Every structure is written in structure tokens, then in C-alpha cells.
Amino acid sequence: MELRAPPFWNNPAPRTAPDHSGCAEDWFARNDSPPDADALPSDLIARAFGHGTGSEGDALPVVELGPPGLVLPIDAINPAPRALDGSDLTDPRLAYLEDDALPDPDGGCIIGVIDDAIPFVHERLRLTPTLSRVAALWVQDARFDPHGPGHDLPAGTELRGAAIGTWLAQLQSGTIPTEDSLYRLSGVVDMTRPTTHAAAFAAGHGAAVALLAAGHAPGDRDARNRPLIGVNLAPKVIADSSGGLAPRVLVASVLFVITRARRLCRLIETRRGLARNSVRLPVVLNISLGLTAGPRDGTSVIERLLDQIADHQADDLGPVHIVLPSGNHRMARLRGRLLAGGTLGWQVPPDDRTVTPLEIWGPVLQAAPDKPLQIGLAGPGFGPAWTAFTAVGQVTHLQDGDGRDMARAYHGTSALPDGGYRQAVTVVLQPTCPDKPGEAWIKPGLWHLSLPADAAPGLHDVSLQRDEVLRGFPREARQSRLYDPHYRDRDPAERTVDRDPDSSALGRVQRADTVNAYATGRRTLRAGAVSLREGRAVEYNSLIGTDRAGDLLVPVDRAICHQGMGICGRGSGSFSMMSGSSLAAPQVTRWLATALGQGARPGNRAAVQALAGGTPDGPPPILPPMPPLGRD
């Protein structure tokens, strides 16, 4: 594509969805969908812990998941959500667990998992061949069942332990021939529907995570005290690595886990004749998901919610701990910094049919900015084109001489909870390969991002969103990288350079502060991966600050040169190999659930580290490895 004239940023206009991230607003625009009419409800804690107006003090219906037909299939939408009515405690068919599967009120701990394609039929999620340990599973993209138990949910279907047990009995008798047939009978797998059928994958991410966190071998004495509450996220949310669709869906998923945990406690009281609110099981929630771009200051919607839930002291539920992976992108060149007047390279690959988002977050300002942050963008064949925002909360388009979009820039300002303000600009590049004839596209190659000399003093954080192909999902994405001519990932002896050298350059690519952008809140636990043989953090594991790989570390890879660990597949008895800090988080979840079940009550992150043998000024403690597959 030859440029007939230098590209320019058009006149800025007010954003249509200033309460959303730039990535989310761009997603709405590309899909010709109006943004959500309102921001997330302000009463999220009330909804989670039942201080609203629902029946018997239970939570109101959870928040909506986004535009119908775009995030979820139309037939998944619940047309009229309504609050729980108490039948889950009185009707055996709607019970979360059968009586013989209920955990001990004094030794139980609920494990929550939010992921994709949790294999609820797997033998490691059963107590006996016909007795399930899965208390509740929300399958967000399944066809809505008006006669099912999940009538308080905005979409999808809910499966509960008693109903799963009925299917398991039919599986054992031969009425249902195979585990795969059970997934299809339940509606979790339906090949006639237009979606990514992650629940049919032989070895999926959700299967690995759920079974590391809550899987127990048949006959394990601890199994009954570790019930599972899970969420199968909608595949479009998993596939959207920019995170634009995630906030509402993750909020709704967290609310589901908390409300069902409270209801499970009430069921134990009902079945055992105990006083109301006397059973308060602790909860460990595993979210093995992440973002590579964001404010990284604990102010995102999901981070604030997780902190509030962990801080909340409920009178009908035990303490809640949340575990996330540190991230896998330390060496991916997705993170950089700019000072006023600096320039940073941006290597954009060919054959990318997806947009490429990048975020610039300015330093903390003591007062609201009196002028918006501007950025310059240069690409193959043209020099820097500078935005001309005239006010905060605007959007502008980089256009070529024919008026076609090359990029979009969204300006935003956020007020920090503890005082101060931060400006952000989200830049979204068009694909380098058009998906259809006539669609706009840009040249691949080396682009450059610049800050003006009069930008605010201090570091400006630059982050690229992950844009790589996820296994089993559409394959159009190609990952861009930041470019710094001084960056080296190997030293002269070919050893990995896994820490940043000292530098005062105006623009550089960094390995520091690459931690999962969902995991910078006050209360979440960040799990890092180490190699079993060497006992040190693996080189891909993202960093908290300059050198910490996590709050707690656990072996994942067999050795530095031998990545991966054995994980359970979807089918009982199957296995595969997988790697990443996503597998460290469920191992930490499992360890912490065991400690809580034995009576430990650490009050904060430091107390959890101390429980694992860590010291305030020492390195992160390393937990023992999981037993090999087939043993527990």
C-alpha cells in the first residue's frame, strides 16, 4: 500500500465509552455494537455477599456479560434473570452436592476455578464413580435452559453436583456410553452451535488448571473436603487476548463463585441441622488468566473487586483468597518505558489479520491534568504524526491520504483511589493483512512511538497486549514486539539475560514490571514457576518489580532446558504436557486450600508467605512439587 500523502491524525472527538478501556471501546466500534449502557454496578460487594434485596438476603442476579450475540450466542441469553428462591436448599434435584459428598464444616475449603472447559465428569473430580465433587459449574456459552437451576444467571447453564451424580450413575450403568456422550448430553459440547468447542479439546487449559487445583485420586481422604465451584468462560472472552471483553465477564464469574460458595455453606447447615451462618468455609479462588497491558497499579475494575472481596469479612462465609499467575512474558518484549522526548521502536509483523493494541500510561499526577497526553506515531514510509487532543477523553484516527484508517488513539484519565491521576493513551493499529478485500490495512515493519518534549516528567509505561494464537482458537494473530537497539536477550556467552541492565535511556524495552496486569492489587497472591532441577525461576516467568518472580513459587518445568510438566487431560486417565505460570497458580491454590482446611487463617499476602516458610526480606518461598500423575 503506497502512501499518496503523509498520514495525519484527524480532528479528535469525544469518546463514546469513556468508562471502558480503549481496547473495549475499539472492540465495540469494530463490531458495530453500542457500548454497554452503563458501567459496572456500584454494589458488587453487596451482590457477592448478599446484602441486596434478593430472597433471604441472597445476591441479586449477576451483571450482564456484554452485547447479546457478540460475546455469547443468542440462544445462551437468559431473557429474564431472577434471584434465587431457596429451592436449592430444599429440592434434592437442585442440590449443590449430594449428602455423602458434603464437606466437613470444620475441615472443608471450597476451591473456585475460573477458566475454560473444566472437565466436570473427570474421575479426579468424583468421590466415587457416581458421586461428584463439583458443587456448581457455570457454562457461560451453553444454550440457556429455562428449566435449569441457573435462573439468576444472565446466560448459559449451571450444572450442580446432584444432577451430575445422576448422569454419572447412568454412565456407570451404560445408559450413557462414554464421558464424551455425557458432555454432549449436558449441552456443554454441542457441535451444531457457532462457537469454539473448547470443552471438546483432548487437553485444554481449563482441564489442566482445574485438576491441578482440585483433582484428587479416587480414595483420597482429602477429596471430600475440597469441593469445586467452577466457571467455563465464554470462548470469545478467552480468544480476545486484548482483554476488552473480560472485565464484565470476570466480575460476573467472581460473583458466581462467591454466591454459590455461600449457598453451599447454607446447604451443609440445612442437611446437618446446624444453625444458620454457623458454617463458614474458606474459599481459594484460582484465576489462571492474565493481561500483558494495563495500569499495573491495582486500579483496574477486576483488581479492585478482588481486593474488596479478600478484605470483606462476611458473617456467612470464611475468608476468601485469590491466586493468579505471575505471567509468562518477561522475555517477550511487550513492556517498555518512555521519558519525555523519547522514542521506542515497535516491530509490527506481516500477515496479522487482527488489530494490534498498545497502551501508554503516564506517571502519577497530583492534580487533574490541564492538558492531554499527546503521542507521535511513525511507520514505514512516513515520519512522526502527532496527535492533537484538545481535551481529555477523546478519540482520534490516523488516516492516510485517501481517508482510510491506519490507527486509532483513545485518551483517558483515571482518578486513583488513594489520590492522584494518571493519563493513558491506547493506540490500536489496523491489521497488516486484510481479512476481506477492501478492508483497511497497514504496512508491516518497524514503527516508532514517541513522546513530546513537554510531556509530564517521569516514566511513561508502554505495554503491548498479547496478540498471539491460543491453542485451538482462530489462527489469524501475530504478536508484535517493542524494539530497542540496545536490548539483548543473550550475553556473549549465550546465557540468558533475564534481568534489566542499568540504563537511563529515554526509551527502552524492559523485563521488569512484566507481571500479569490482573495481579497488581493488594491482596491477590501471584504464583511463579521454577524449574524442578535447578530450583530457580524459569526465564519466561514475568517479574514483580525488578526481580521477584512471584509471592510463592512452585516447580512447573522439569529443567531450564526441559519445559513442561505432566497434566491431566479432559478424559479420565488421559494426560498431556504443558508449561507456564498458569500451572503454578493452581498448585499454590491446592496448597493454600489444604492449609486453610487444617485451620490456618493467614490475614494477608505476607502471612501466606510466612505460612510457606518465607521471611519478610527473603526470597519468595518455593513450595514442594505436585506428585506425579496417577499418584496423590
Q: Cα(324)–Cα(613) distance, rounded to whole angstroms?
A: 20
Q: Answer yes or no: are the C-beta atoms of 374 and 437 closer than 8 Å.
A: no
Q: Answer yes or no: are the C-beta atoms of 244 and 26 closer than 8 Å.
A: yes
| Residues listed for the chain | 632
Q: Cα(285)–Cα(112) distance, rounded to whole angstroms?
A: 4
Q: Which of 202-206, 416-420, 508-512, 625-629 has the lowest mean pLDDT?
A: 625-629
pLDDT value, residue 51: 53
The neighbour count for residue 470, using CB atoms within 10 Å, is 18
pLDDT value, residue 539: 94
Alpha-carbon distance values, 451 to 11, 297, 391, 465, 502 (Å): 19, 21, 17, 20, 22
Q: Cα(539)–Cα(549) distance, rounded to whole angstroms?
A: 9
The percentage of the chain sitting over the pLDDT mark of 90, rounded to a whole number, equals: 70
Q: What are residue 190's phi and psi, to 5 degrees?
A: -145, 100
Q: Cα(277)–Cα(196) distance, rounded to whole angstroms?
A: 41
- SS3 call for 326: coil
> What mean pLDDT comes out for the span 164-191?
95
pLDDT above 60: residue 60: no
Average model confidence (pLDDT) for the chain? 90
pLDDT value, residue 71: 79
> What mean pLDDT comes out for the span 184-210?
89
Listed residue (371, 390, 394, 372) closest to 14, CA to CA: 394
SS3 labels along 462-492: EEECCCCCCCCCCCCCCCCEEECCCCCCECC
pLDDT above 70: residue 200: yes
Q: In the block, which residue shows the cell 488516516?
A: 399
Q: With respect to CATH, is domain 8-20+331-509 assigned 2.60.120.1290?
A: yes
Q: Cα(231)–Cα(306) distance, rounded to whole angstroms?
A: 16
pLDDT value, residue 469: 61
At 227, list the grid cell: 469441593
Pairing of strands 525-531, 320-325: parallel
pLDDT one-digit tens code per residue, 335-354: 999 999 999 999 999 999 88
> Which residues on adjacent β-strands are paired with residue 136?
160, 229
pLDDT value, residue 59: 46
pLDDT value, residue 629: 57
> What mean pLDDT comes out for the span 503-520?
86
pLDDT category at 52 given cuts 50, 70, 90 is very low
Q: What are residue 331's phi and psi, to 5 degrees?
A: -100, 10
Q: What are residue 25's phi and psi, to 5 degrees?
A: -60, -40
DSSP secondary structure code for residue 65 in this structure:
-
Q: Cα(209)–Cα(330) distance, rounded to whole angstroms?
A: 21
Q: How far is CA 541 from the centre of its chain?
A: 16
pLDDT category at 474 given cuts 50, 70, 90 is low
pLDDT above 80: residue 37: no
pLDDT value, residue 36: 62
pLDDT value, residue 41: 62
pLDDT above 90: residue 34: no
pLDDT above 50: residue 508: yes
At 353, list the grid cell: 489479520
Listed residue (18, 26, 39) closest to 301, CA to CA: 39
pLDDT category at 503 given cuts 50, 70, 90 is low
Q: Which of 58-72, 215-229, 258-272 has the lowest mean pLDDT?
A: 58-72
pLDDT value, residue 315: 93
> What mean pLDDT comes out for the span 236-255?
84
Considering only CA atoms, give the Rg of the chain: 25
pLDDT one-digit tens code per residue, 108-155: 999 999 999 999 999 999 999 999 999 999 999 999 999 889 889 999
pLDDT one-digit tens code per residue, 150-169: 889 999 999 999 999 999 99
Q: Cα(214)–Cα(221) distance, rounded to whole angstroms?
A: 13
Host H or E run for residue 556: strand 552-557
> What mean pLDDT comes out for the span 182-193?
92
Residue spans per domain, the chain: 8-20+331-509, 44-206+217-288
pLDDT category at 421 given cuts 50, 70, 90 is very high
